[in-house]
Amino acid sequence: MGTFIVRRFLQMIPILILISLLTFLLMRLAGPDPAEYMIMLNPRIKPADILAEKIRLGLVSPDGKPLPLISQYLNWLGNLVKGDWGWSRIWPNQTAFGAIMLFLPNSLILMGLALLLSIIVAVPIGIYSALKQYSGFDYTFTTLSFMGMSLPTFWLALMSIIIFHLIPYRVFGFPLFPAGDIVSFGKPFAWQWYDRLWHLALPVLVLAITHMAAWTRYMRSSLLEVIRADYVRTARAKGLPESKVINKHALRNALIPMVTILTLSIPGLFGGALITETVFAYPGVGRMLYQAVIGKDYAVAMADILFLALITIIFNLVADILYAVVDPRIRVS
Amino acid sequence: MAVADTALELAPSFSYWNMVWTRFRKHKLAMFGTIVVLFMILVCFVGAPVYTALSGIDYSSQNLKDRYAFPSAQHWFGTDDLGRDVLVRILYGGQISIEVGLIAALAAIVLGSLIGVIAGYIGGWVDEALMRFTDVMMSLPYLPLYLVLAMAFTPGFWTLIFIFIAFGWMGDARLVRGVVLSLKNMEFVEAARAVGASPWRIMGTHLLLNSMAVIIVSTTLAVGGNIVGEASLSYLGLGIQPPMPSWGNILQNAAEFMFAPRNGPWLIFYPGFFLFLTVLSFNFMGDGLRDALDPRLKNAN
């Protein structure tokens, strides 16, 4: 087990290098270099300072000659390893690392709640659907989950704003839920926990619905597979009450693949949150990446993409390990 | 002799595709999906140009005196912030969305099947290298990379298609490889090898043709995914660029003016509903095709 984890960790390194190289080249192809963009933002910066910044960033050699892209990349990587992630262009006085740390807590709250809500809803529905296969309940929720999987996240988000914000606002003169942001700025109750929850309601609901659908299906098919297994028939044959057969024998085994699927979908939550956060103007890492890419904030965009890639790879690894932990039949080699 | 004759009469010969069609027809949701998809293609690719030819109104015709009009007999879905007819824009936008979805899905399946069949049939280090590459591609955070790719190249039709191909082939490659691995030691492949068929012929005709069930299902489901992807990127302003409409950028435009005093919720409802209905229909079709083409796959998810 120990060597397995170490080896998987070592395998992560080439993947991260590949991703960073890919994004670095793409970002550099997208326009002028990051130092040039600084002067567009602040005309008072002197050309000499820009040159010094370019040398510091490793874009040109100390005598002012442009370096080939690959050495630019190596210099950038060197700075990254040394802890110099570069300064943000659109968030003043923030390093790229600082910008991520600024927005990460918001994202974690949003995703944590969405994850919790979708599991609480999806798992019981999936279980009940499987136990009553081909019943009206099963058909209804199988069809509904199919619909949920086809729902474009941003449309769902927009419609929820219309239904819970725009229409109540036009009809009653006040919205049921806010359309964006994290707190009611300038109000005495701003930053109270209920104010934050009130602002989280719609984004959490939208994010949860998009994941609920898939998980209901997974839970259902996972339990259906187990219910047909021989040992479940044996458990019934030896006279165990049905509740014990389901709870002790079927359900526990059906939850094993769910653990993996849940772990693997966490990086996807970050990705899906990008759209949800953008629609609701919710200041999380997803919207930050979008703003950084649009605003050509190289340092932040690169740092954010590497951060997301790291999360993706780490959770892939965690899923593999958890799979072996919860299911002793799996031998990791 | 007489017994054999009766048996033949009792079991008329059904071709594979005959049985597929019989099973597919029984899948109500899949039939619903097929009809909706055909209807969408008809109204978008035939209805919209015919309407333009008759009335002279196309997706960019503005009428600033008639902005934010309510849905009426003249403008079924109302007009937007520039007085453009929303229905006409949705239909032209549908052309783009469906084209992106189909072209990218077909190209990705060609690439994916090629990689999958080569990896599965040749095996050895080729398989190892191709599958490692597939794993790496699958572990990339694709939405952030979409953003960067769309920025690095000029956003537009072909950039979108390129992105969906580049990130769409991995699942197909794995599926086809799996089928090929299960088939390649079967007698019919051995027989083909024995009569001297070249590896390319075995891969092309024998293995790929027998992976058709998986390939068709995967392509159908990918179309829906690509259409959502196109809409999402266009919504973020990194996909199809105005004035060319797509379901994504119509919604982006509507969302921008969402809080305008005269703006109606239908400006957001209708384009999204077309998008949702089309994607849902492709997914229903894919589900029905899975059950019809290979009933063994039914609960395999």
pLDDT digits (tens, 9 = 90+) for B54-65: 887 777 777 777
Per-residue confidence band for B24, with pLDDT thresholds at 50, 70 and 90: confident
Calculate how close chain B gets to A241, using CA atoms only, in Å. Answer: 27
The mean per-residue pLDDT over the stretch A239-263 comes to: 85
Per-residue confidence band for A62, with pLDDT thresholds at 50, 70 and 90: confident
Residues 170-199 of A with CB under 8 A from B: 179
Res B277 pLDDT > 90: yes
A149 inside 8 A of chain B by CB: yes
The span from the CA of B230 to the CA of B211, in Å, is: 28
What percent of chain A shows pLDDT beyond 90?
13
Res B1 pLDDT > 50: no
HEC states along chain A?
A: CHHHHHHHHHHHHHHHHHHHHHHHHHHHHCCCCHHHHHHHHCCCCCHHHHHHHHHHHCCECCCCCECCHHHHHHHHHHHHHCCCCCECCCCCCCEHHHHHHHHHHHHHHHHHHHHHHHHHHHHHHHHHHHHCCCCHHHHHHHHHHHHHHHCCHHHHHHHHHHHHHHHHHHHHCCCCCCCCCCCCCCCCCCCCHHHHHHHHHHHHHHHHHHHHHHHHHHHHHHHHHHHCCHHHHHHHHCCCCHHHHHHHHHHHHHHHHHHHHHHHHHHHHHHHHHHHHHHCCCCCHHHHHHHHHHCCCHHHHHHHHHHHHHHHHHHHHHHHHHHHHHCCCCCCC
Res A223 pLDDT > 80: yes
Of the listed ranges A257-266, B59-68, B153-162, the one predicted with least confidence: B59-68
What pLDDT score does B226 carry? 92
Q: What number is the ipTM of this complex? A: 0.85
pLDDT digits (tens, 9 = 90+) for B226-245: 999 999 999 988 888 888 88
What pLDDT score does B6 carry? 52
Instruction: Find out whether B249 and B270 touch, Cβ atoms under 8 Å.
Output: no
Of A15, A26, A155, the CB nearest to B152: A26
The mean per-residue pLDDT over the stretch B175-181 comes to: 89
Contact A290 B236 (CB under 8 A): yes
Tell me which residues of chain B have a C-beta less than 8 Å from any C-beta of chain A.
29, 136, 139-145, 147-149, 151-153, 224, 228, 231-232, 235-237, 251, 254-255, 258-259, 265, 268-269, 272, 275-276, 279-280, 283-284, 287, 299, 301
If one compares B29 and A270, the residue with the highest pLDDT of the two is: B29
Of the ranges A33-42, B154-163, B286-295, the best mean pLDDT one: B154-163
Contact B299 A30 (CB under 8 A): no
pLDDT digits (tens, 9 = 90+) for A16-54: 888 888 878 877 776 666 666 666 667 777 777 777 777
If one compares A129 and A91, the residue with the highest pLDDT of the two is: A129
Res B4 pLDDT > 60: no
pLDDT digits (tens, 9 = 90+) for B94-128: 999 999 999 999 999 999 999 999 999 888 899 98
Here the tokens at position B289 are 């095709």
Res B10 pLDDT > 70: no
Residues 48-107 of A with CB under 8 A from B: none
Per-residue confidence band for B295, with pLDDT thresholds at 50, 70 and 90: low
Res B301 pLDDT > 60: no
The mean per-residue pLDDT over the stretch A174-187 comes to: 78
What does the CA dihedral B80, B84, B88, B90 come to, rounded to 10 degrees? -40
DSSP 8-state class, residue B45 = I
Of B141, B259, B283, the CB nearest to A308: B141
If one compares B238 and A55, the residue with the highest pLDDT of the two is: B238
Residue of chain B minimizing CA distance to A302: B148
Residue of chain A minimizing CA distance to B259: A166
Of the listed ranges A83-87, A125-129, B69-73, the one predicted with least confidence: B69-73
What pLDDT score does A40 carry? 65
Residue of chain A minimizing CA distance to B153: A30
Per-residue confidence band for A292, with pLDDT thresholds at 50, 70 and 90: confident
What pLDDT score does A155 carry? 92
pLDDT digits (tens, 9 = 90+) for A123-141: 999 999 998 888 899 989 9
Q: Which residues in chain A are contacts of B149 at CB distance < 8 A? A: 26
Mutate to test the interface with B, among A158, A161, A166, A304 (most CBs of B within 10 A): A158
The mean per-residue pLDDT over the stretch B213-236 comes to: 90
Res A333 pLDDT > 50: no
If one compares B279 and B18, the residue with the highest pLDDT of the two is: B279
Contact B148 A166 (CB under 8 A): no
What pLDDT score does B101 carry? 93
- pTM value is 0.86
Of the listed ranges A49-53, B60-64, B134-138, B278-282, the one predicted with least confidence: B60-64
If one compares B10 and B166, the residue with the highest pLDDT of the two is: B166
Calculate how close chain A gets to B242, using CA atoms only, in Å. Answer: 17
Contact B235 A143 (CB under 8 A): no
The span from the CA of B180 to the CA of A41, in Å, is: 56
Contact A151 B276 (CB under 8 A): yes
What does the CA dihedral A279, A280, A286, A287 come to, rounded to 10 degrees? 80
Contact B280 A150 (CB under 8 A): yes
Res A5 pLDDT > 90: no
What pLDDT score does A38 carry? 67
What pLDDT score does A160 carry? 92
Of the listed ranges A12-16, B38-42, B182-186, the one predicted with least confidence: A12-16
Per-residue confidence band for B300, with pLDDT thresholds at 50, 70 and 90: very low
Per-residue confidence band for B13, with pLDDT thresholds at 50, 70 and 90: low
Here the tokens at position A76 are 């950038």
A260 inside 8 A of chain B by CB: no
What pLDDT score does B223 carry? 93
Q: What is the average pLDDT value for chain A, to the nearest integer?
A: 83
Element (H, E) at B95: helix B86-122
If one compares A193 and B182, the residue with the highest pLDDT of the two is: B182
Per-residue confidence band for A294, with pLDDT thresholds at 50, 70 and 90: confident
